[in-house]
Structure 1
Amino acid sequence: MKTVKIVGVPEHFNLPWQFCLENGEFNEIGIDLDWTDVPEGTGKMCQMLRENETDLAVILTEGILKDISNGNESVVLQQYVASPLQWGIHVAAQSTFQTISDLKDKKVAISRNGSGSQLMAIVNAKNEGWNSDVLSYEIVNTLDGAVIALTENKADYFMWDRFMTQPIVDKNIFRRIGVCPTPWPCFVIVARKEFYENNQAVIKNILEVINYTTIEFKQIPSIDKTLASRYEQKLEDIQEWLKITKWSQKQLTEKQFEQIQNQLLELGIIKSTLNFNEVIK
């Protein structure tokens, strides 16, 4: 049995992985897939890849490409979710902020440096015509940390998947004042380069299992009710999320890669171009 370490966020996007694990599908092909939830998100997962604490990661596209441009020796195996991530822009429910423009020069809560919550704050700033170089941050590590930061006025706003934060909005802890979708496919599956080079057959088998599940995922009977129950969501919110979420079983094309890279360069998220053949496997 080959042990493979993998990390991802504890969110509804990754329920297909949990189903495969619960059903023993990786064990059936001789793989002990050791999944670790990482609520801190992409910045933490980048660190784990760098420090050989994981072999694979299901990770935000912008975050891993930024970290690869900064020396992370990882490669992209394929897209995982092709649709954009809907980043909600949240403030404390009792705050005086009413519109996105009210947040100019205000402090943004982020999970970690290099996280999606930081990079999407840059995207939002550019969308609003703000100078993203002067954004100020409060590191909060997790969604729970963001709740504390906003309610205690340590930060002014926080960006996170709008569906995963919906229960917090429903409880009148956060108020959502806007949504900022990613202008690229949101999740990719990546591997440490060394692990990829030495385990290509194992990786191929893992991808075949997860891709078979994601192809059929939306057709699973009562999947909306299962998701709503597991992730404490309202059924109508999950149904809306399922409509707009598209899993992928394909690799990024060179054209897609260049489009994403050019957007990241324009936003200042990466400083130099990446080599398609070195990054995309």
Structure 2
Amino acid sequence: MPLRIGYVREHFSSPLLQFAEVDGGKTFELVECPSGTGQLIGRLEKDEIDVAIALTDPLIAGIVKGSTAYKLVGSYVTSPLNWAVITGKSSKYNNIDDLKGTTIGISRPGSGSQTMALVMALQQNWEPKDVDFKVNNDIRGLVDSVNDGSTSAFMWEWFTTKPYQDAGEVRFIGSVPTPWASWMIAAHPERASADALKAFLSGLSTYVRDFDSPDKRKEADVEFIHKAFGYPKDDIIACIQAWLKTVSYTDDCAKVAASVVTTTMKTLKEAGVIPDTKELGVLVNEEVAKIH
């Protein structure tokens, strides 16, 4: 039975999409999760997917808080994720300081949009009472909420959201890069066998290395993203090229960096996202992943 791979259809997923085109559903099938990591974790818990390619911080927070639906089995994107702080086109908010004591929009509880808002609050030295949250499910709901005034702002990946800013629907008033490598891979510890996971991670590594190569970055990657996501090429090509200059992928999707896991836990604890930290063996499936 093919592995069910949960993912978010964003430009980060390009190597995965290229792998899926060639595999043709023989060894895995893709399950799109447009609401992001909160939805991915929920689908792991509900037996709707076996593997999730998702944001590092919510994955780690979920395990520390007690989820047994998955463990970390690998890495994906090793560069930080640049989260834009986004408000309505006509709102009164002009910088991050203005958001203290307001309601921040998030996609789902436990999502990256929530954990990073708490990290932002930590960086601003705000108290827990200085930030509240409202669930708006997806990017469309978040954009609508900052424009109807039900939320002050939300946080989402910079380049994914930039078309909304370019269209005049929202304004960017700041950014908060993650202090950790941004994307990891998690899998249910029983539904996905070690052999199947190792084969999937090995195959994905091949496509990741190819996509991440200097030669492919010059033209082929831009063309693929343009076609796969339907972006208007004349409007988005410069944005894609700028993103490619900032992003880096792992050379082996089956590797997990101990420093990334421990740094993320430390920061999440300081931000009040998790109550404590855990031993590395609690978070990582060492039968599959190579810890370094």
Relative to the length of structure 1, the TM-score reads 0.93
How far apart are the structure 1 equivalents of 2:222 and 2:200?
A: 25
* Residue identity in the other structure for 1:263: T
Q: Does 1:277 align with 2:281?
A: yes
Structure 2 residue aligned with 1:193: 189
| SS in structure 2 of the partner of residue 98 of structure 1 | coil
Cα contact 1:26–1:209 (8 A) shared by 2: no
Structure 2 residue aligned with 1:171: 167
| SS in structure 1 of the partner of residue 80 of structure 2 | coil
Cα deviation for residue 229 of structure 1 reads 4.2
Cα contact 1:113–1:139 (8 A) shared by 2: yes
Structure 2 residue aligned with 1:223: 221
Structure 1 residue aligned with 2:13: 14
5+ long unaligned stretches in structure 2: 287-292
The structure 2 residue matched to 1:268, chosen from 263, 272, 275, is 272
Cα contact 1:26–1:206 (8 A) shared by 2: no
1:12-161 map, 5 Å: 12-24=11-23, 27=26, 31=27, 33-73=28-68, 74-161=70-157
How far apart are the structure 2 equivalents of 1:94 and 1:262?
A: 37
Cα deviation for residue 48 of structure 1 reads 1.0
| SS in structure 2 of the partner of residue 107 of structure 1 | strand
The structure 2 residue matched to 1:209, chosen from 185, 192, 203, is 203
Cα contact 1:62–1:116 (8 A) shared by 2: yes
Structure 1 residue aligned with 2:289: none
How far apart are the structure 2 equivalents of 1:4 and 1:59?
A: 16
* Residue identity in the other structure for 2:238: E
Cα deviation for residue 15 of structure 1 reads 1.3
Cα contact 1:49–1:72 (8 A) shared by 2: no
Any idea what the Cα deviations from partners look like across 1:176-201, whole Å, max 9, x if unmatched?
011100000111010011124xx111
The structure 2 residue matched to 1:241, chosen from 236, 243, 246, is 243
| SS in structure 1 of the partner of residue 5 of structure 2 | strand
* Residue identity in the other structure for 1:255: S
Cα contact 1:20–1:26 (8 A) shared by 2: no
The structure 2 residue matched to 1:255, chosen from 259, 280, 285, is 259
Cα deviation for residue 252 of structure 1 reads 2.4
Number of aligned residues: 274
Cα deviation for residue 24 of structure 1 reads 2.5
Cα deviation for residue 148 of structure 1 reads 1.3
How far apart are the structure 1 equivalents of 2:174 and 2:223?
A: 27
Relative to the length of structure 2, the TM-score reads 0.89
Any idea what the Cα deviations from partners look like across 1:216-266, whole Å, max 9, x if unmatched?
103334211331343326111111111111111252233332222212211
Cα contact 1:25–1:209 (8 A) shared by 2: no
| SS in structure 2 of the partner of residue 184 of structure 1 | coil
How far apart are the structure 2 equivalents of 1:133 and 1:5?
A: 39
Any idea what the Cα deviations from partners look like across 1:15-47, whole Å, max 9, x if unmatched?
1111111122663xxx1x121111111111111
